[in-house]
Amino acid sequence: MTRALCLDTSVVIQYLVPEQLQIQAEALVLEAVENAVRMVAPAFAWAEIGSVLRKKIRAGLLTDEESKGCFDDFCQLPIEYIDTVEIRARAWEIAHQYQLPTLYDASFLACAESIGANCQFWTADKTLLNQLGQRLSYVRELVE
């Protein structure tokens, strides 16, 4: 079975922008790229990444040029975007089961689940991890 990764926006942003866990995120992403690990994400992930980068411009944390460079770097990653009726339905179920306020995180989880047991979902989102608890075996936390 080939290993696969589904990287939450919180991990991808850490990879793109100098933040607390950038070294760990960079190691995870570069290992995946170098070893041709399958990377998957929900179809809207590119827009979510772009939105976070745009917020960083408004907050004065990145210039427009820096943010565009980060977005360009993201767009070069070999991510397979997935959108199926089954993922949408499963995202709704996950959001309901874990009392998630939106379908964004649930969609990433459903995307990872759709690949099967060989897919790990990585996140740096402590709020999400607290909501999930230790109940999902495929969830991994990006830590220092």
pLDDT 10s digits, 53-71: 999 999 999 999 999 999 9
Beta bridge partners of 4: 38, 119
- The H or E element spanning position 82 is strand 79-82
Can you give the pLDDT at residue 117?
Answer: 86
Q: Return the percentage of the chain with pLDDT > 70, whole number.
A: 99
CATH superfamily to which 4-141 belongs: 5'-nuclease (3.40.50.1010)
Question: How far is the C-alpha of 140 from the C-alpha of 125, rounded, in Å?
Answer: 10
3-state DSSP assignment of residue 80: strand
Cα angle 14, 93, 127 (rounded to 5 degrees) comes to 35
Predicted confidence (pLDDT) per residue in 9-52, tens digit: 999 999 999 889 999 999 999 999 999 999 999 999 999 999 99
Q: What is the pLDDT of residue 88?
A: 97
What are the tokens at 118?
């060989």
Task: Tell me what pLDDT residue 38 has.
Answer: 96
